[in-house]
Amino acid sequence: MSLPQTNWQGTLVWVLLFKGSKSEGEYPLLTLVDGSRLRLYVRGESSEVSAYLRTLDQKHVHVKGVWDDLRGHPRLVVNTTEDVTLCSDPYTQDLDHGLL
């Protein structure tokens, strides 16, 4: 059974994570209004996906995804890049979590 997708908003940023491990690298994170951060994971992630998310760096975005806590690292799992969109007016979007 899969969990339902929920709506989130925040600023997308790229941050170096997992320093010193084989997973070390820059990852896209969604920074919420309260300052908390969730790593974004797009299923089937590829260089095209990373390139698209790089165009949204430091921008306010709307994300439709499923929250999970894989191995103690909170993240939002999204199905496609179509689930990550630029917000033209962040205060008119309905959110499931009331983060803004």
Q: Which CATH superfamily is domain 6-86 in?
A: Nucleic acid-binding proteins (2.40.50.140)
Is it the case that residue 100 has pLDDT exceeding 50?
no
Q: Answer for the pair 50, 62: CB distance below 8 angstroms, yes or no.
A: no
Pair 67, 30: CB distance under 8 Å: no
pLDDT in tens, 59-95: 999 999 998 887 777 889 999 999 999 987 655 555 5
Q: Confirm if 91 and 70 have CB atoms less than 8 A apart.
A: no
Token pair of 41 as six digits: 């994971």
Q: Which residue has the higher pLDDT, 44 or 20?
A: 20
The pLDDT value given to residue 1: 42
Domain residue ranges in the chain: 6-86
Task: Please give the model's pTM, rounded to 2 decimal places.
Answer: 0.79
**Tell me, what amino acid is at 43?**
R
Task: With beta carbons less than 8 A apart as the criterion, state whether 33 and 99 touch.
Answer: yes
